[in-house]
A and B are shown apart, each in its own frame.
Chain A
Amino acid sequence: MSHSSTRSKIDLPLFLAVVGMAIFGIVMVYSASSYSAEKQYGDAFFFVKKQAVGFVIGLVGMIAASRLDCRKLIKFRFAFLAVSLVMLALVFVPGVGKSNYGATRWIGFGSFTVQPSELAKYAYVLFAAGYVAKDPARVRRFVGILPLLAAGGSVCLLVILEPNMSVTMCVGLLMIALIFLSGTKLKNIAAIALPALAAVPLLIIAEPYRLKRLSAFLDPWANPKGEGYQLIQSLYALGNGGFFGTGLFASRQKYRFLPFAESDFILAIIGEELGLFGVLCFFAAAAFIVWRGIRIASRRDDLFGYMLGMGIVLVYGIQVVVNALVVSGAIPPTGLPLPLVSAGNTSLIVTMASFGVLLSLSSR
């Protein structure tokens, strides 16, 4: 595995698209949160300031990562995965783990908090890329993919205990997609995917709140003040937007009607203010990022770079699609941020840094 190390330029369209998306995110976070932040914290810019800090750190991280020689990352595949698993486990240590909305998803000290599951996704991508690249032949046999399953399963297990259904789903999908890309036989995929599908009902039964959410999803109007509330408010926002939206900053639903308007449900506010037209533009931009990412990965002649690039793009793409499905009421509500756009620094910084890695793949 050697090729010329002549330095070429990074993929500028992707860089601009990611930065543009993050700036758009700041604007939307401002619009979605200014009223509730003013009422709750006495500062309309409360979330925007945090988001701007995250953007600057993310931008620095992205540029720094784009200058790395990503081939060296392969060395860290075990260490990164181990650190992530430890951090995921730390979530359950009293005093370190932080709870919010009935789930323990953060670790931190004071006001500084990190969501380990955001890191774990990428740790898994790195691990999988490294594992496959080291010996591409072994994944052809079923036994060969067992380590991939074990690593993915460990992450899923820890995340689901938080509990965080949506990230578990994302990691699961990511795992299956990466194994597919590794070049294994299709019957092996089926052997994993079918039990995984079968596990979904079990997961739902394990946590009563999921059942409630499921029924709320099936008929949100049955309990509009309770379980159905969030979905109904999201639909109100989208419906109010119509085709061309109410105009930037003119959302009605952001006046505390829609919970998590600035984070998990920011797409509903985008849909309300910018309409279906705005949502389609957003999809187009997201598709552009995915397309540029796949293009970069496909042009790699090393399997590690290919797998790493595809993994990073997949993490982004899967999250966008799952979030959009939730917001539009196509699947039951789960807490998942819209990457690069939703308020939340861990997600923003890590996602931008991951695109930095992707950019570094484009330049070598």
Chain B
Amino acid sequence: MAITFLFLLLIGKFFYVQVISEKKLGYRALDQWTRELPLIAERGTISDRNGTILAGNAPSYSVFVRRNAVVDKTETCRVLAEVLGLDETSLRLRMDSNVSELTVARQVSKDTAERLGRYVLPGVYYAADNTRVYPYGDLACQVLGFTSSDMSGVSGIEKYYDKYLKGTNGELLYETDLVGIEVGDAVLYCEAEDGLDVTLTIDYQIQTLAERIMREACAEYSPKRAECIVLDLDNFDVLAMVSRPSYDLNDVPRDDAELLNSLSRNGIVSNIYEPGSTFKVITAAADIEESLKGNPNAFSVNYIFPDSRTRSVDGTTVKCWSTHANGKHSHQTLAEALNNSCNPCFTDIALSLGSDCFYSYLSAFGFGSVTGLDFPGEALGMLLPQTAVRACDLARIGFGQTIAVTGLQLACAVGAAVNGGNYYVPRLVKAIGAEEIEPVLRSHPISAETSAILRRMLEGVVSEGSGSKAYIEGYRIGGKTGTAQKYENGKIAAGKYVSSFVGFYPADDPKYLSLVIIDEPQGAYYGSVVAAPCAKKLFEGIIALTEQKKEGV
């Protein structure tokens, strides 16, 4: 009896272990039976809107050593050190250490790997790897960003779209014994899934053009920074985005974190500045829209602003940059106020509309919030909360002071003001893999009619006002200059200005918007002198490109 019982117990136990626990034990055991070699997924490429590859891959190899499978350690070390250019002593030390598998080298070129392949080296394994290559060096370097040595995105598009670009690594499973020596040739294969290609909205030709113009501006005015953005006004596709100084993506200064941080900063997205007169476009748009709506506090387009150079608000005095002497800035309508960039007129508008009304436009034009660009590190800008804003603040916001914006915010706001009143979410990527991304309309701050009136006024600024240095004979350009004094520690910094120009073309039915920001130019500093000619060259280039394209068709 007892023996039978014991026997049944024994059989039961074996049944439990062998049949019932089979799967559970199997999964755990599989792990110890195999060693993996990674199959590295190819990172997706990044190309411009027309398919020009801006970030690609060159084939390379990773070299691994599985210590226990090495037959002749000394010889293996010698050959590896010689072919890969490594230090033999330290390699030997690593090989004698307790790790069962060590990575000897990554991103070894195909030639070197082939030379290594001529030796018979048991225990040495190769896996296909990739090296990131940027064919145009520093072109759009802050936009593209770079990857770490293990190929994960660190900045820019490489970072923001990393999860699509990186793909999924596969594995080769070798069956081995306890210490890692291969047994049999059974190999399990788990294929790598390559990353998706990303298509930017950037136009390689316009980007190249903008880079050249910014480089020339830097040579002429030696500014601290120079930035430029070109937007497609039909959908807010970013066609070009330049930030100088720049660096070569194929030779990233990884050792100097501070330098790298400043060079890789995409200023137009991450830096904020006081926009100055370019902001008057927004104030003008609010006034026209309110006037058309019949708001009695708004000034009609025919209204003549008072001639005085100053306005007194809350005991402080707002002055125009011009002396108003000899009949300058007299008898101005809104159009003429824009031409002359006359500060008191815009103070009048902001104060007359009042903070409720004016702030609703600031909000509709995206100030105080991020634009939503598909890019890491977008700054919010600085806008006084409506509850804290005093009349003297409101008066200055009217002409672009007491407010700080990113270049991107301003470009998008002006873009929406002149393209018929459509504020899209700006974007840098138009397709991931084969999937096209649809543009997203974010808000509708003003009517098409207001926008048309504003366009005519801004065309006047270029044809007969302060933006004349952006004028191109025979073509319709609209725009607005800006010259803002910089503040340091709460005081105006003497001789430090941000010169800017925001322009669009063609003025009657705008397709392209460009914003040029020159930070601390040396010598000249007026936006009309420093930034407007850059925009002119940019539009000339774009016009040449579009005409080339037309001829080509």
- A residues at B contact (CB < 8 Å): 35, 39, 235-236, 238-243, 252-253, 255-257, 271, 275-276, 279-280, 283, 287, 321, 324-325, 328-330
Contact = CB atoms under 8 A, between A and B. Distances in A.
21 contacts: A35-B177, A236-B25, A238-B14, A238-B17, A239-B17, A240-B29, A242-B18, A252-B29, A252-B33, A255-B183, A256-B178, A257-B32, A257-B33, A257-B177, A276-B15, A276-B19, A287-B7, A321-B7, A324-B10, A325-B10, A330-B9
A236 B17 CA distance: 9
A325 B176 CA distance: 29
B22 A239 contact: yes
B440 interface: no
B179 to A, nearest CB: 7
Given A255-B178, A257-B32, A271 B18 contact: yes
A179 B15 CA distance: 34
A328 B33 CA distance: 21
Interface of B: 6-7, 9-11, 13-15, 17-19, 21-22, 24-26, 28-29, 32-33, 175-179, 181, 183
A324 B177 contact: no
Contact of A255 (B9, B15, B22, B176): B176
Given A252-B33, A257-B178, A330-B10, A279 B18 contact: yes
A275 B14 CA distance: 10
A305 B345 CA distance: 128
Q: Name the prevailing secondary structure of the A interface residues.
A: helix
Contacts of A287: 7
Contact of A275 (B11, B18, B26, B28): B18
Given A255-B33, A330-B13, 15 more contacts: A236-B25, A238-B17, A238-B25, A239-B24, A239-B26, A240-B22, A252-B33, A255-B176, A256-B177, A275-B18, A276-B18, A324-B14, A325-B10, A325-B13, A330-B10
Nearest to B175: A252
Contacts of A236: 25, 28-29, 32
A345 B175 CA distance: 33
A57 B393 CA distance: 109
Contacts of A271: 14, 18
A243 B20 CA distance: 10
Nearest to A245: B18
Nearest to B15: A276
A362 B39 CA distance: 67
B170 to A, nearest CB: 23
A287 B8 CA distance: 12
A328 B13 contact: yes
A284 to B, nearest CB: 10
A329 B183 contact: no
User: Which 5 A-B pairs give the minimum distances between C-beta atoms?
Assistant: A239-B25, A255-B177, A256-B178, A236-B29, A276-B18
B178 to A, nearest CB: 4
Nearest to A271: B18
Contacts of A35: 177, 183
Nearest to B181: A39
Nearest to A254: B177
A39 B33 CA distance: 17
Contacts of B24: 239
Contacts of B18: 238-239, 241-243, 271, 275-276, 279
Contacts of B177: 35, 39, 255-257
A321 B6 contact: yes
A119 B201 CA distance: 88
A280 B15 CA distance: 10
B9 to A, nearest CB: 8
A287 B135 CA distance: 78
Contacts of B178: 255-257
B11 A240 contact: no
A271 B16 CA distance: 12
B282 to A, nearest CB: 67
Nearest to A36: B177
A329 B17 CA distance: 9
A271 B19 CA distance: 11
Contacts of A238: 14, 17-18, 25
A335 B446 CA distance: 88
A240 B17 contact: no
A253 B11 CA distance: 22
Contact of B22 (A242, A253, A324, A329): A242
Contacts of B29: 236, 239-240, 252-253
Nearest to A257: B178
B7 A235 contact: no
Which of B33, B176, B179 has the most A CB atoms < 10 Å from its CB?
B33
Contacts of A275: 18
B37 to A, nearest CB: 19
Contacts of B10: 283, 321, 324-325, 328, 330
Contacts of B15: 276
B368 to A, nearest CB: 57
Contacts of B33: 252, 255, 257
A77 to B, nearest CB: 27
A243 B23 CA distance: 12
A243 B19 CA distance: 6
Contacts of A253: 29
A317 to B, nearest CB: 8
B404 to A, nearest CB: 59
Contacts of A39: 177, 181
Nearest to B176: A255
A276 B7 contact: no
Contacts of B9: 330
Contacts of A283: 7, 10-11
A216 B255 CA distance: 50
Nearest to B23: A239
Contacts of A279: 14, 18
A255 B13 CA distance: 25
B3 to A, nearest CB: 8
Given A243-B18, A287-B7, A328-B13, A235 B25 contact: yes
Nearest to B6: A321
Contacts of B28: 236
Given A252-B33, A279-B14, A280-B11, A240 B25 contact: yes
B274 to A, nearest CB: 64
